[in-house]
Amino acid sequence: MNKTFEQDIKKGLSSSPKYIPSQYFYDETGDQLFQQIMKLEEYYLPRIELEIIGSCSHEIFQALAFDAIDIIELGAGDGSKTLKLLKNLKSKGLNFRYIPLDISSNVLEINQSAIQNHLPDVDILPIAGDYMKTFSELSRQKNPKLVMFLGSNLGNFTPDKALGFIKHLYQHMNGSDALLMGIDLKKNPQMIAAAYNDSQQITRMFNLNLLGRINRELGADFKLNRFDHYPFYDPIKGSAFSYLVSLETQKVKLADGTCFYFEKNELIHTEVSYKYSLKEIEKMGMKAGFLKVRHFTDPQEYFTLSLFQNE
Ligand SMILES: C[S@@+](CC[C@H](N)C(=O)[O-])C[C@H]1O[C@@H](n2cnc3c(N)ncnc32)[C@H](O)[C@@H]1O
């Protein structure tokens, strides 16, 4: 049994308000559900990000004037979008090693076999674990780096933490390294609200899977039909929150006897996804220490791939 998972769940469910850290979405079931979410019409993010990758690979290639680099991807996931970028960079003659970092070793296996199948000549060095730790260890390597943080992952931090995270990356990067982040932009709130409340209810299952995972790994007795999925977008703050709502007053017990009590309509916070404007992204990059920020967007400016550099 994973001790950190157990401690984090006990801490989150005995706090007020209750929460479950969003990194726990991604067990095997969560990975599968997330791959389904990525294909949903309403979940526009990966589709548009992929479109931008298709249109800006040449400029990214030109910005990386090195003989050989390490492409380090934080929270790499299944690598399906990255594959397109790697293929494009390879076809332009870039010589690189691909280092995907992810907390889920399951998704890293999917990632590795997808990249290997299509790019058999590329060296892949998958690293399982929390990227906060594994990235600082990697920073001692001398090769120039392109660090990637795609899929609007930055939005899962509060703006303060996002800035702290970019600063942390900056401190572990050398002058010639570059950072490429895929960030969701502020837009019509209806479009954002629909992305987190899809008509096929896959996002609902994804959110409820957190409770299923606690049942499977900690022997809890959550009845999933006694909880509901409640997503909420605040366009003023640019924050899309996800909650689980307890539909009745209830008690849930873990295998070790620990009990948690839920009031009727009590919320468990499970995720936040912040949206930014291009100006806010530039400000963050500059505050973190970068000198140059370039945005690659789709024509409607729904999403951006932003490249942060020093030279
Ligand atoms: C929203 S998915 C995005 C995947 C991919 N970047 C994409 O754009 O398709 C987030 C990924 O980050 C990973 N992840 C979340 N928290 C992490 C952490 N602290 N350390 C390493 N990986 C993490 C998850 O396992 C998951 O694969």
Residue 156 · residue 87 · CB < 8 Å:
no
Using only C-alpha atoms, the chain has a radius of gyration, in whole angstroms, of: 20
3-state class (DSSP) for residue 263: coil
Residues lower than pLDDT 70 in the chain: 1
Q: What angle do CA 22, 2, 266 make, to 5 degrees?
A: 40
DSSP 99-150: EEEES-HHHHHHHHHHHHHH-TTSEE--EES-HHHHHHHHTT--S-EEEEE-
DSSP state of 276: B
Q: How far apart are CA 186 and CA 276, in angstroms?
A: 5
> Is residue 104 in contact with ligand 1, taking CB distance under 6 Å?
yes
**89 in contact with ligand 1, CB cutoff 6 A:** no
Amino acid symbol at 143: N
Which helix or strand (DSSP H or E) is residue 12 part of?
Answer: helix 3-13
pLDDT on residue 236: 94
Which amino acid, one-letter code, is at 220? Answer: A
Strand partners, 180: 148, 307
Q: Which atom of ligand 1 is nearest to the CA of 75?
A: 12
End-to-end CA distance of the chain: 46
CA 131 distance to own-chain centroid: 11
The pLDDT of residue 1:
53
The sign of the torsion formed by the CA atoms of 310, 298, 62, 115 equals: positive
Ligand 1 atom 13 nearest Cα = 75
Whether 271 is in the pocket of ligand 1, judged by its Cβ within 6 Å, is: no
CB of 131 sitting under 6 A from ligand 1:
yes
Instruction: Give the distance (Å) from ligand 1 centre to CA of residue 223.
Output: 27
Q: Give the C-alpha separation, 268 to 17, whole Å.
A: 7
Structure confidence at residue 141 (pLDDT): 79
Residue 138's contacts (CB-CB under 8 Å, 6 or more residues apart) are 70, 72, 99, 101, 127, 172
CA nearest to 218, candidates 32, 8, 18? 8
* Alpha-carbon distance values, 217 to 2, 109, 142, 225, 256 (Å): 8, 21, 40, 19, 12
81 lines ligand 1 (CB under 6 A): yes
The DSSP annotation for 185-197 comes to BP--HHHHHHHTS
Structure tokens at 163: 């800035």
User: Which of 153, 209, 304 best tests ligand 1's pocket when mutated (most atoms within 8 Å of CB)?
Assistant: 153
Q: What angle do CA 155, 161, 166 make, to 5 degrees?
A: 80
* Residue of 102, 168, 169 with the most ligand 1 atoms within 8 Å of its CB, for mutation: 102
pTM for the complete prediction? 0.91
249 Cα to the center of ligand 1, angstroms: 33
